[in-house]
Amino acid sequence: MRYGNTKKILVTGGAGFLGSHLCERLLDQGHEVLCVDNFFTGTRRNVAHLLGEPRFELMRHDVTFPLYVEVDEIYNLACPASPVHYQFDPVQTAKTSVIGAINMLGLAKRLKAKVFQASTSEVYGDPEVHPQPEAYWGRVNPIGYRSCYDEGKRCAETLFFDYHRQHGIPIKVARIFNTYGPRMHPNDGRVVSNLVLQALRNEDITLYGDGSQTRSFCYVDDLIEGFLRLMETDATVTGPINIGNPGEFTIRQLAELVVELTGSRSEMVFRPLPPDDPRQRRPDITQARAVLDWEPTIPLREGLRKTIAYFEKSLG
The two beta strands, 73-76 and 8-12, are: parallel
86 catalytic? Reply is no
Burial of 109 (0-12, 13-18, 19+ CB in 10 A): middle
Looking at this protein, which amino acid is placed at residue 243?
I
Burial of 228 (0-12, 13-18, 19+ CB in 10 A): middle
Catalytic residue among 86, 149, 163, 219: 149
DSSP per residue, 237-261: ----EEES----EEHHHHHHHHHHH
- Give bridge partners of residue 283 from the DSSP assignment: 132
Q: Helix or strand or coil: residue 177?
A: coil
Is residue 80 within 8 A of residue 120, CB to CB? The reply is no
Tell me how far apart the alpha carbons of residues 23 and 264 are, in angstroms, rounded to a whole number.
34
Active-site amino acid positions: 149
